[in-house]
Amino acid sequence: MELPIQIAKDSPEPIYYQLEEQIKALIASGQLPAGSPLPSIRALSKDLEISVITTRRAYQNLEYEGFIQTTQGKGTFVADIDDTKKEKVKTETVYKAIQTAVQTALRHDYTFAEIEQIFQQVMVELREKEGS
């Protein structure tokens, strides 16, 4: 039951938040369908080398937001979530990725016009790849 999760210890984002967002993305993308079991808090903490306090916090938030469900004695499972919610997470994930990219460019003193140019160029390259 190992999850493809990578914690960036150097990131300014808190670890529980990274964990939360990555599990959400796995659920929204359908990689973790409803009913899939999640690792126990202790097992996931060991794999990610973080404390159970951090993992528990992420699981609690996910449960509160309705992404996962914990059944006493049975474990934690992916909840049945509706498509609107999945869609919302997807949009947020993509939006955030682009936002980060733009911020990186701004930090390197690019102007908005230049960033747009790069964006267009990336789009052209990827379209060509898709087409071939």
Partner 1 sequence: MQPWLEIMQLRKTIDDFQLGPIDLSFEPETIHALIGKNGAGKSTLMKMLMNLAKKDEGQIRLFGQSIQNRDESWKQHISYLPQTLIGCNSFTGLELMKLTSHWYSTWDQKYFDQLVQMFDIPLRKLYRNLSQGVQKKLSIALTLACDTDILILDEPTAHMDIPSKQMLMDILVEWMERSEKLMIIASHQTDDIRKLADYLIVLKNGQLLGKFEKEELASRYKRYFLQQPLPNKPIPGEIGRKGKQIVITQQQENTEQYLIEHQYDWIKAESLELEEIITIMLNQPIYQKGT
Q: State the Cα–Cα distance between residues 80 and 101, nearest whole angstrom.
A: 32
Of 9 and 129, which has the nearer Cβ to partner 1?
Answer: 9
Q: Does 49 bind partner 1 (CB under 8 A)?
A: yes
Q: State the Cα–Cα distance between residues 65 and 129, nearest whole angstrom.
A: 38
- Work out whether the CA dihedral 1, 19, 79, 31 comes out positive or negative: negative
Q: Binding residue for partner 1 (CB under 8 A) from 18, 26, 45, 76? A: 45
Q: Does 2 bind partner 1 (CB under 8 A)?
A: no
In angstroms, what is the minimal distance from the CB of 53 to partner 1? 6
State the distance between the two ends of the chain, measured CA to CA, in whole angstroms. 36
Q: Binding residue for partner 1 (CB under 8 A) from 51, 91, 111, 120? A: 51
Map the footprint of partner 1 across residues 5-44, applying CB under 8 A: 9-10, 12, 14-15, 40, 42-43
The answer to whether 98 and 106 have CB atoms below 8 angstroms apart is: no
Angle at 131 between CA 22 and CA 99, to 5 degrees: 35
Instruction: Return the number of other C-beta atoms located less than 10 Å from residue 116's C-beta.
Output: 13
In angstroms, what is the minimal distance from the CB of 1 to partner 1? 13
Q: Does 54 bind partner 1 (CB under 8 A)?
A: yes
Of 14 and 37, which has the nearer Cβ to partner 1?
Answer: 14
Candidates 4-12, 60-68, 83-91, 110-118 — which segment interacts with partner 1 by CB under 8 A?
A: 4-12
